[in-house]
Amino acid sequence: MVFVRHCSKKNEWLAELTTDLTLSIEDVICIYAIRWDIEVFFKCTKSLLRLQKEFHGRSYNLLVSHTTIVFSRYILLAWHHRQRTDAHTFGGLFYLLCNEVGTLDWVVALQQLLDVVNEIATKAGKKLLALIQRQLLNRIARLPSNIKACLPISCCLS
């Protein structure tokens, strides 16, 4: 049994039960949170979006179509709610960073990556350096010729 205190109302708490004694307290809480989201989903679709009462039919295809429409409405409402309330949605920041990365020349980025790999391999020892160089040359050999022409392959062999 796991007891969880309400984060803003210190007098309220919730008891969560599990039969799997191998789970950590954090795992029990995470599983409960996932299950709670599912319960909220079904409650919303049944009561607010009228999954059971909006339309009646006996055809399997009709029932699947109606359920799909109701679930699609829920997805749109949940997305709209998240856009308005969730501080973890950094859409603008994501697009700004994408634009910044887009201006980086891929040949320069690849050269920087190869330099890092060489530096790590050199510090690790001669055997690991040889293994990494073989693997890298093997992968480079499989690239199309127009990409190989732009690669700074000489840095791999240093």
pTM of the model: 0.41
> pLDDT digit string (tens) for 35-79?
888 888 888 888 888 787 777 778 888 888 888 888 888 888 888
What are phi and psi for residue 4, nearest 5 degrees?
A: -120, 130
Residues 25 and 18: their CA atoms lie apart, in Å, by 10
pLDDT the model gives residue 155 = 44
Closest CA to 25 of 3, 44, 54, 52: 3
Q: 69 is written with which tokens?
A: 């429409």
Say yes or no to pLDDT of 158 above 50: no
Find tokens 């969880």 and name the residue: 4
